[in-house]
Structure 1
Amino acid sequence: MTLGKRAFLLIFPVVLAGYVVAATLLYMSQSASVRGLERARLWQQLGLLGAVFQNDVTQNKSLIYSLVEGTAMRLFVNEPDAGYRSNAIGVMMQESIRSLSDDPTRFVSLTVIRPPLSIDYYYENSDDPFAEIPKVQVEHARRLIDSPKLSDWTYLKPQGAEPLIVHSEFLDQQTFNRPVSSAKAGSILIQTAVRPRQFLEMKAKLEQEYGAEVEVSTHPLTATGAVSATAKLGPMLYARLTPHEGHVDDKLANLKALLAVGAIGLSLFTIGLVLLLVRRFITNPIARLDRQLTDVMSGKRSELTPVEELGEIGRLSVNMKQLHDDAVESFGLVRTASWTDTLTGISNRAHFNDRSTQILELARASSAGCTLLFIDVDNFKFVNDKYGHKVGDELLTTLAARLEMRVKAVTERRVLPDALVARLSGDEFAIMVQSHPGDGTVSEISEAIVRLFDGGFEVLEQSYPVTASIGIAVFPEDAADLPELIANADAAMYQAKAQGKNGSARYSRSLHEKRTRQRHIEEELRAMNPDDEMHLVFMPIVDGHGKVTACEALLRWTSPLLGRVTPDEFIPIAETTGLFSKVDSWVIDTAMANCHRIKQLFGAETILCINISSAELYNRSIADRFCDALDRHAVEARSIEIELTETFAVKLGDQSQRNIDMLRSKGFRISIDDFGAGYTSVQQIIDYPAETIKLDRALVESLTNSSALPTLRALIALCHAQDMQVVAEGVDTTEKMTLLAAAGCDLYQGYLISQPRTVEDLGIWAMQRLLEQARESAGAKAPAKGRKTSRT
C-alpha cells in the first residue's frame, strides 16, 4: 500500500466522521417534519376513504327507496301467483334495477323476504345463474326480524366473497309504507346490497401503499403508533390504518441518501486538499526511494543511489542501500541452493526449466539447434525395493556424476557450450545439448550413456541390473517450445523402452502421427454420436453338430473424419480417458434390441454375448444399466452372456467382484474372454466366477497340433471340472476343429464357421445354411433310395 493511500485511509475516516455527525443532526431535525406531513396525509386519505364509503351507502339507500316507490315492487308484493310473480314481475324489477344503476357492471342484489323468514325473491346481476343469497345476509335478516328496527343498513363480509353494503326496509303489505312496530311481524323485508367497488379499490391501494391492512369494525377504533389514522364510515362503522413500522423510514430513505452523498462528497473534497500537501512534502521523496528499490528488484538497476534529503528520509536511503547490498549476496546463495537437486547435486527441474527456456530463446534467435535427451533408468524401482533406498540414492548420485563427466568430455572435445544436466524427478534425467543436428554429438553422448550400463551399473563395489532408455527430441524440428520438446522426448523414451530398453530412440514422424491419431481418436470419441457412427456385427458360435447356440456382438466404428477405426485402437483410449461409459451403454442397448431377431433366426435358447469394457466393472451402475436394457427390450437375463477379458479377471477388485456377483444374481451369464492371452494360474481358473471360458485364438493356434493334444485335453477337462463350457476362438480350419472336438471342446467360433456379420447378413447366412443342410440331406437320401429299388 502506498503512503498516499495510507494517508488517505487514516485521514479520511476522521473527516468523514465530522460530516456524518453534521448530517445526522440535520436528519434528526428534518425527520420529525417528514413524519408530521406523513401523518396528516394519512388522515386525509382515510377521510377520503370514509367519504367514498358514504357515497356507496347513499347510492344503495336511493336504490332501495326508488324500488319501493316503483310499481314493479308493488305488483310483485301483491301478486298471489308465485310463478308469475317470480318470472314476469321479477323481470320487471330487474329492469328497474338496471335503469336505476348508473354502472351496469356494478354488483347489485335485491332480496324480498316474507314472514317469518321466507326468501320470496333473490336477484343479483352476476354471471352465476344459480347464485344464492349469502348466508351472512340471511343471518342479518333474521336478527333484524327479531329486533325492533324497521330500517337498517350494514356492512357485511360474505365468506369467500367481497364485502357488501346491505340496506333493509320493512314494508306493510297493505299500505306499502313502513309499518308500525306492532305490525312488524307481518311485514315484508326488502333488502338491497351493493358492492362498494370504489371503496374496496381505494382500500386496496392504501393497503398496498402502506403495507398494512385497513381495519373495519363496528366498534370505535383509536389511532395507535406514531403514524396512524381512523375514520368513521357510518353510525356504527369505523376504519383504522396503521402502516408498518418501516413505512416512514422508507419515506426518509431519499433524505438519508442525499445527506450521505453530501457527507461523502465534502469529505473527499477536504481530504483531496490535505493529501495534496502531504504528497508534496512527505510522500514524494519516499516514492522516489521506492522507485529505485523497485528498479533494483526488477533488474533495471544494479544498485541504489542515496536520496538527497535531510532528516529521516535521507537516513532511510542510506540504510536501505546497505540492506540491499547484503541481500544481493544472500540471494545469490539461496538461488544456487534452490536450483540444485538435494540428492545428486546437479540441476533440479526448476533450474532446468529456467535455463532451457533461455537456451531455446537463444537458439531461436540465432537459428541454431539444440537437442534434449530424456533419460529413464530401467528397473530402478526393482533395485530400490530389493536393495533398499540407500542403494537407490547412491545409484542416482553416482549416475548423475558419471553423466556430467561423460557429457562434459564430449562437449569439451567438440568445443561446444556446456550441456545442461538435470535430475527431473525420481529416476528421470534430462540433458540439453547445444549443437548442430547431425554433427554426431548427440549420438556420441547417447552411446557414452548406454556404455555406462554395460554389464550392469556398479555402485558401492557391486553391480546392479539397471539400464537406460533415452528419448531424443530436436529443437526446432521436433517441437516449438520447451513443454512440447519435453513431451516429445518423453514419448521417444517410451519408444526406446518398447524396443527393448538400454538404448535410444529419436522422436519420429511416425511417432508423431501415432500420437496425433490417438489425440484425434480421443477428440472424435468425445464429440461423436454412437447412433450415427457405430454399428454392431454378430459372430455365430456353434456346437459340435453345427447348431448356432450363441452370437457375440462386436463393435465397429466408422468415423467421418478418421475412417474405419479398429477396436484395438479406440477401446484403450476410451477406457483411459473415461469415455467408454456412453459407448458401453450404446452397445448394451443396441445389442439387446437385436436379441429377439437373433432368437428368431437360431432359436429361443440362443445366447447373446456382449463384451463390456473392463473399466466399466468398477462402475457401480453397470448392473442397473443391464437391467434397464432388459426391461426396455423385454429380454430375459439368462439370454445374455457378459464377456470379461481374462487379463482383467486376473485382477478382480472388491467393487468389480461385487458387480459380477450382482449380475449373476440377476440371472446374467458370465464369460471369461481371451483366456490364455495373459498370465493365469490354476488357482485363478478355479476361482473364476463364470459359466463359460473362451480360449484365445493364440492359445488355440499353439495347442491345435497332435503333440499338444494331451495339454489341450487337460485344460478343457479342468474347465469342465469347474462347470464351465469351453469355447474355442479362431477356428479357421477343419483340422483345428477336429483336434478341438477330440479334446472335448464344447463350442466353436471362427472364420471357418462365419465371419462377423450384420443382423441382415446373418439372416441371409442362416438361410444359406438351411439350404445347404437341405441339399446335403437330399443327397444322403438318394443313394439309399436307389439301393432299395435294386433289391426289388
Structure 2
Amino acid sequence: MSLNRRLILLLLPIVIFGYGFATFFVYQYQKINIVELEQAKLEQRMLQLQGIFNKEAAIADNLVGLFLEGGYLMSFLASEPSSYRDATLSQSLHKMANQFLTNPSSRVAFALYNGVGQPLFYYERSTDPFATISPSHQSLSLEMINNRSISERQLITEESGSRFISGRLLDRVAFLPFKGRDIRASVQLSFSVQLDQFSAMLSHLEESYMTTAQWSNILNSEKGLSHSIEVFPGYFLTLQPDETIINSPMLAFLIRLMATAVALGSVTYGLLLLLMSRFITSPITKLDKELTEVMFYQKDNISPTFSKSEVGQLSKKFYDLFGQLQANLKHTHQMAVTDTLTSLPNRIRFYEYAKHILMKAEQNNDFVSMVYIDLDNFKFVNDTYGHEAGDELLCSLATDLNGLVSFIQQNNGSCMASRLSGDEFAIVLQHHNAEEVDVLAQSVVELFSSGYQSDNYHFPVSASMGIASYPGDGPTLNELIASADMAMYHAKRSGKNRFEHYSVSIAAEARRMKSIENHLKVVDCDNEFALVYMPYTGVDDQVKGFEVLIRWHSPELGNVDPEEFIPIAEQTGTYAKIDKWVFETAFKKLPEIRAIFGEDCTLSVNISAAELGHRMALEHLVALKKHYGIADGSVEIELTETFAYAESDAVFDVLHGLQEAGFSIVIDDFGAGYTPLLHMIDYPVSKVKLDKVLTTRMTGPEYSKLLKPLIELCHLQGIVVTAEGVENQAQQQFLKEAGCDYFQGYWLSKPIPFEALDAWFARYQTLTFYQDLN
C-alpha cells in the first residue's frame, strides 16, 4: 500500500483540516469582534474630540458677538487715536477673554483692520509681551477685505497646536455686514483662539493610536479602522490608527488559539502515531531531521538514498532540489551585493562589510575610516563624450580603486572599495595608525592629478573626497557616512580634487548652509535684498553700462555673500523668486539710471543657470520688458560660462527666445570652463566677458601675445569683448591696444549702491576731464 493511501486511510488529513478550519473560523470571528469594539471606541473618542472643538471654536464666535453687542467697536472708532483709547479697548478685550477662558495661559488674539488693509489695533492675551499678529491671522483679514467676504471661519493647524479664527467685515458706520461698493467704508475684525483642549486631546489620540491625524476638505471614505469628523462645514479630520493597534491583540489571541489547536492536535496525532509509526512516521521523521539540519546550515544537503519507496523517492528529490538551491543561492547573493557595471561591491555589500568592520574595530580598539568619493564634472563627461564613455570612466576607476585596496589587503589590512550610486564611491579602511587613511586618499587624488586617463579617453574630471573616522567622527555607521558626506562637499567647495577630514568647523559650515536654505525659503526680498551696480566703460572712457549684482543682508544671518547663497538657492529651488525680484527691481531703476548716464546706458543682469531650461523664465522676462517699456538692446542677460551647459532643445529655445525679444546674450566668466569656444559658437551670444583671472594672465608678460588673437577670434564671430578684473590704467591701455571693447574692474569702481551712482559719476567725470587735459 502506498504512502498516500495509508495517510488517507488513517484520516490524518481530516484531523489537520478539521483543526485548521476550526482555528480559522474562531480567529475570524474574534477578529471581527475586536475590530468592531476598537471602531466603537474610536468613534466615541472622535465625537468627544468634535464636541471639544465645537466648544472651543464657539469662543471665537462668541467673542465676536459679545464685542459687537458691547459697543466696543463703535466707541473705538468714534474716539481719536491715542494710547488711552488702545488701553481701554485692551482692558475690555481682556475682561471678555477672561469670561470665556479659565486657563491663564490660553491665547486669544484680536485684530482690527480698515478697509484698505491697514491695521488699526491688535490685542493678544498671551505670556509673550512682544507678540505680533501671526501670518495666518493677518492673511485671513486681508483675504476678507480683498474678497469682500462678510464672514469667515478658519482653522489653522501648526506644530504648536491648532487655532480657530472667526472674522467679520462690517460697515464702518452702521456696524452691519458690509455690502457697500467702497471697501474703504468698511472695517474688518477677527478673533483667534488657541484650541488648547482640542490640541491636547488630539495629540493624546495620535499617541494612543500611533498615527497622525489627517486634515482634508473631503470626507474620508476608506474602509477599515478609521473615523472622520467634520470640525466645521467642508473641513474634516480623519484618524486612522496604526495597524498594530489591532494586530497586537489579534496576535496574542492567535498565539493562544494556535497553542490550543496544537495541543489538541498533538493528542489526536499521538493516538494516530501509535498506528502509523511502523509504516509512515519513522521514515518521515528521519527525513524531517535531515531537512531541519540543512535549513539551519548544519549540513549542506541531506544524505543521498537509494530506497525505492515513496519516502526514498521524496528524499532523492529533496537532495536534488537542495543541491540546485545552494548553487542558485550563492549566485543570487553574489549578484545582489555586486554592482553590475563595475563589478565592485554595491551599497548593500558596503553596509554589510562596514558594520562588520566596526564591530571588529570596537573589540580591537582600531580605527575605521570612511572615504567618500564623488567625481567632479562627471555630468560633463556624459553630456560631451556620451554615456558609454562615462561607463568606461567608472569601470576604469573601479579597477584602479580595486588595485589600491588589493595592495592594502596584501599587507594584512581590512579594506574594501564599493560603488554606492552614479559617480559616488566609498572605501572602508580598518587601520592602526591615523595617517594610513591619508596615504590612501592621496593615492586616489594622484589618479586625477591631470584629469583621468582610461584606455580610450582622457577625461577632464577630478575627485572630491571626505574622510570620517571611527570613533572620533561618529560612533555609528550612519553618523560616519553623514560626516564623510559633509567633508566631501566641503572638499568640493574648497577647490575639488582633494580630500578633507570631517571637523567641527565643517559641521558648523553644514549647519550654516542649512540655516541659509531655511532663511531663503521665507526671505523678504524687498527688505533683505539690495542691488549694487558695477560700471563698465568703452574705449572712449565713457560709462556704457552697469552689471547688476545682488546683496543680501539677513536680520538673523547678517551679510551673506552671493557666492554662498546663490548655489544653495539653485539647489533648493528658491532661485526663481530671487531672479524675479532682481529683474523687476533692475527694470524699475533703468529709467533713473539712464537719466544720469544717458539713453545708451545698458544693464547686464545675471540669470540663474537653473532657469535656462524653463520657458516660464522667458515668458516672465518678456512680460516685464513689456510692462516697464524697456527698449530692445537695453538689457543684457549674463550666463555664467562655468555652469553645466545642457545642450537641449529647451535651453536653445529659451536663449533664442530671449534674443528675439530684444535681450542681448552675454557669457560671463569667459575662459573659466572647459569648452568656451564651443559655447560661443553654439549659443546666440553677442558679448563675452573675460574672466578676471584670464584678464590678469593675458595682460602679463607670459601670455600677453595670446590676448589680441583671442579678441580677434571673438570679433570674427561678431562678438564684442569685455575685460573683467581691470585693476589699473596700464592694464586698461594694454587691453585697448589689443582691441578689447569694454572694461570693468575695481580700477574703475567697486559695486555702487543706486543712491551713490550720481555722486560717483560726478567724481568720475571730473577725474576724466583732468586726465584728458593731461
TM-score when scaled to structure 2? 0.51
Distance across 2 between alignment mates of 1:675 and 1:465: 18
Q: Does 1:7 align with 2:25?
A: yes
Displacement after TM superposition at 1:445 (Å) = 7.1
Q: Does 1:372 align with 2:369?
A: yes
Displacement after TM superposition at 1:725 (Å) = 2.8
Which residue is equivalent to 1:242? none
SS in 1 for 2:348: helix
Q: 1:435 to 1:394 in 2, by over 3 A?
A: closer
Distance across 1 between alignment mates of 2:448 and 2:693: 36
Q: 1:652 to 1:555 in 2, by over 3 A?
A: farther
- Equivalent positions of 1:746-765 (< 5 A) are 746-765=741-760
Which residue is equivalent to 1:737? 732
Distance across 1 between alignment mates of 2:419 and 2:771: 72
Which residue is equivalent to 2:351? 353
- Equivalent positions of 1:135-150 (< 5 A) are none
CA RMSD across the alignment? 5.4
Q: 1:656 to 1:362 in 2, by over 3 A?
A: same
Displacement after TM superposition at 1:740 (Å) = 1.8
Distance across 1 between alignment mates of 2:747 and 2:461: 48
Which residue is equivalent to 2:617? 622
Q: 1:732 to 1:711 in 2, by over 3 A?
A: same
SS in 2 for 1:555: strand
Which residue is equivalent to 1:235? none
Q: 1:504 to 1:2 in 2, by over 3 A?
A: farther
User: For 1:481-509, what per-residue CA distance to the aligned partner results, in whole angstroms no more than 9, with x for missing partners?
Assistant: 31231243355567779999998653344
Please, which of 585, 589, 611 is the counterpart of residue 584 of structure 2?
Answer: 589
Distance across 1 between alignment mates of 2:372 and 2:258: 56
Distance across 1 between alignment mates of 2:665 and 2:453: 51
The one-letter code matched in structure 2 to 1:409 is N
Which residue is equivalent to 2:151? none
Q: 1:563 to 1:407 in 2, by over 3 A?
A: farther
Distance across 1 between alignment mates of 2:701 and 2:371: 50
**2:338–2:345 Cα contact (<8 Å) kept:** no
Q: Does 1:488 align with 2:506?
A: no
Q: Does 1:403 align with 2:405?
A: yes
Q: 1:588 to 1:362 in 2, by over 3 A?
A: same
**1:553–1:610 Cα contact (<8 Å) kept:** yes
SS in 1 for 2:474: coil
Displacement after TM superposition at 1:547 (Å) = 2.1
**1:697–1:730 Cα contact (<8 Å) kept:** yes
**1:469–1:503 Cα contact (<8 Å) kept:** yes
Distance across 2 between alignment mates of 1:332 and 1:421: 26
User: For 1:710-736, what per-residue CA distance to the aligned partner results, in whole angstroms no more than 9, with x for missing partners?
Assistant: 543333333333333322222221111
Displacement after TM superposition at 1:687 (Å) = 4.3
Displacement after TM superposition at 1:587 (Å) = 0.8
Q: 1:660 to 1:307 in 2, by over 3 A?
A: farther
Distance across 1 between alignment mates of 2:463 and 2:687: 44
Which residue is equivalent to 2:145? none
Q: How many residues align?
A: 489
**2:344–2:398 Cα contact (<8 Å) kept:** no
**1:473–1:506 Cα contact (<8 Å) kept:** yes
Q: 1:500 to 1:659 in 2, by over 3 A?
A: closer
**1:709–1:743 Cα contact (<8 Å) kept:** no
SS in 2 for 1:528: coil
Displacement after TM superposition at 1:554 (Å) = 0.6
Distance across 2 between alignment mates of 1:632 and 1:342: 59
**1:478–1:488 Cα contact (<8 Å) kept:** yes
Q: 1:567 to 1:711 in 2, by over 3 A?
A: same
The one-letter code matched in structure 2 to 1:406 is I
Which residue is equivalent to 2:296? 328
Displacement after TM superposition at 1:534 (Å) = 1.5
Q: 1:373 to 1:358 in 2, by over 3 A?
A: closer
User: For 1:155-213, what per-residue CA distance to the aligned partner results, in whole angstroms no more than 9, with x for missing partners?
Assistant: xxxxxxxxxxxxxxxxxxxxxxxxxxxxxxxxxxxxxxxxxxxxxxxxxxxxxxxxxxx
Distance across 1 between alignment mates of 2:436 and 2:290: 48
Which residue is equivalent to 1:241? none
Task: Provide structure 1 residue ranges, at least 5 long, that are not aligned to the other structure.
Answer: 14-277, 291-304, 412-418, 781-792
Which residue is equivalent to 2:652? 657
SS in 2 for 1:655: helix
Distance across 2 between alignment mates of 1:584 and 1:717: 33
The one-letter code matched in structure 2 to 1:485 is L
User: For 1:618-659, what per-residue CA distance to the aligned partner results, in whole angstroms no more than 9, with x for missing partners?
Assistant: 111111111222244333343211112234596543211111
Q: 1:567 to 1:350 in 2, by over 3 A?
A: same
Q: Does 1:603 align with 2:598?
A: yes
The one-letter code matched in structure 1 to 2:468 is A
Displacement after TM superposition at 1:760 (Å) = 0.3
Which residue is equivalent to 1:19? none
Distance across 2 between alignment mates of 1:448 and 1:643: 40
SS in 2 for 1:7: helix
Displacement after TM superposition at 1:665 (Å) = 1.4
Displacement after TM superposition at 1:563 (Å) = 2.8
Which residue is equivalent to 1:698? 693
User: For 1:118-166, what per-residue CA distance to the aligned partner results, in whole angstroms no more than 9, with x for missing partners?
Assistant: xxxxxxxxxxxxxxxxxxxxxxxxxxxxxxxxxxxxxxxxxxxxxxxxx
Moved more, 512-521 or 636-645: 512-521
Distance across 2 between alignment mates of 1:614 and 1:680: 16
Distance across 2 between alignment mates of 1:552 and 1:466: 32
Distance across 2 between alignment mates of 1:466 and 1:751: 33
Q: Which has the larger radius of gyration?
A: 1
Which residue is equivalent to 1:36? none
User: For 1:538-576, what per-residue CA distance to the aligned partner results, in whole angstroms no more than 9, with x for missing partners?
Assistant: 111222333222111111122334332222222222223
Distance across 2 between alignment mates of 1:774 and 1:737: 17
**1:372–1:486 Cα contact (<8 Å) kept:** no
User: For 1:419-455, what per-residue CA distance to the aligned partner results, in whole angstroms no more than 9, with x for missing partners?
Assistant: 46363447876555556674x665687789999999x
Which residue is equivalent to 2:710? 715
Q: 1:435 to 1:561 in 2, by over 3 A?
A: farther
**1:370–1:475 Cα contact (<8 Å) kept:** yes
**2:405–2:417 Cα contact (<8 Å) kept:** no
Displacement after TM superposition at 1:593 (Å) = 1.5
Tell me the percent identity: 33
SS in 2 for 1:641: strand
The one-letter code matched in structure 2 to 1:689 is P
Distance across 1 between alignment mates of 2:727 and 2:462: 43
Distance across 1 between alignment mates of 2:662 and 2:257: 87
- Equivalent positions of 1:154-233 (< 5 A) are none
Please, which of 512, 517, 526 is the counterpart of residue 522 of structure 1?
Answer: 517
**1:363–1:370 Cα contact (<8 Å) kept:** yes
Distance across 2 between alignment mates of 1:612 and 1:536: 14
Distance across 2 between alignment mates of 1:405 and 1:289: 64
Which residue is equivalent to 1:645? 640
Which residue is equivalent to 1:300? none
User: For 1:683-714, what per-residue CA distance to the aligned partner results, in whole angstroms no more than 9, with x for missing partners?
Assistant: 65444412222222222222225786654333
Task: Provide structure 2 residue ranges, at least 5 long, that are not aligned to the other structure.
Answer: 1-18, 32-252, 298-321
Distance across 2 between alignment mates of 1:478 and 1:733: 48
- Equivalent positions of 1:397-546 (< 5 A) are 400=402, 403=405, 406-407=408-409, 409-411=411-413, 419=414, 421=416, 423-425=418-420, 432=428, 438=434, 442=437, 471-490=466-485, 492=487, 506-546=501-541
Distance across 2 between alignment mates of 1:596 and 1:673: 25
Displacement after TM superposition at 1:529 (Å) = 2.4
Distance across 2 between alignment mates of 1:360 and 1:422: 16
Q: 1:353 to 1:3 in 2, by over 3 A?
A: farther
SS in 1 for 2:567: helix
The one-letter code matched in structure 2 to 1:594 is K
Displacement after TM superposition at 1:670 (Å) = 1.9
**2:535–2:749 Cα contact (<8 Å) kept:** yes
